[in-house]
Structure 1
Amino acid sequence: MRFSAIPLVALGLGLTACGSQSDDTPAPTASATGAAAPAPAPLPTEIPIQFQGRWGLNANDCSGDPAAAKGLLTIDASTLRFYESTGTLDEVTSSTEGRLRGNYSFTGEGMEWQRDEILDLRNGGKVLVRREFGEGASPEAFDYTKCE
């Protein structure tokens, strides 16, 4: 007696279809070790310490002379302070090692505005690259050097 492989394959496919899930619930994801993937770390609520300090666009900004320090950026746990404006952190939207993105409320020269800012540390934390997004934002990045 000879059996054809086609009916056996069809039977196998029919049994597989009967055993499949009928709901749209996704299967749980697991890591390579079989454990459930860890929950992402919570975002910080302040500007991390490695970003804090005095940063200059040029050497004069770090000289200590306020009249010459028009490119000085001073960062603390909640603010970005510039020569004529201050941005207060409203919310951190993403954070990784050496990078922080957040929404800030700015005031300066009698005006108020919002900005989405990215701060990137480079060169072992000696260089800070700042980029801004939103209406009226500069299309270019600003490169700061850590003041000693």
Structure 2
Amino acid sequence: MTETAEQILVVDDARDIREPLGQYLKKQGFRVRLAASAAEARGIVETARIGLVVLDVMMPGEDGLSLCRWLVARGGPPVILLTAMADETDRIVGLELGADDYVTKPFNPRELLARVRAVLRRAPPSAPTLDATPRRFAGWTHDPAARACGTTTGARPN
């Protein structure tokens, strides 16, 4: 596993699915984060660089479809819905909400792995997160957020 390996977030309230799937994906070279709820997943997505989310639909509290909608609205990582809901209408709703793929339980881990790799191949690389903290050096200030550079007295150079 390398530092450049994509980080996958597995969100499922069922520990007996979440943990073995996480271990399987780690063995395949991915970095993996696990979440047991949508609320926990939101916190991880807000603070970590996630390349893809494998998301259960039926969870207590906020369901996976709502979390999927939130991820899509904020331009978040690609989503593969992983659910026991196998009805054609459920698949269509999930895909129309913005999911990139839909896998029904029970599932073959090798098939899910192939789908993860396929979605990651299609997804644009995630942009690096840059520190926007202003820096001061040798009488100058650089403010990345404002895209400005000037003297510490406020005067701008010619």
TM range (shorter): under 0.3
TM-score, structure 2 as length reference: 0.26
Structure number with the higher strand fraction is: 1
Structure number with the higher helix fraction is: 2
Structure whose CA Rg is larger:
1
TM-score, structure 1 as length reference: 0.27
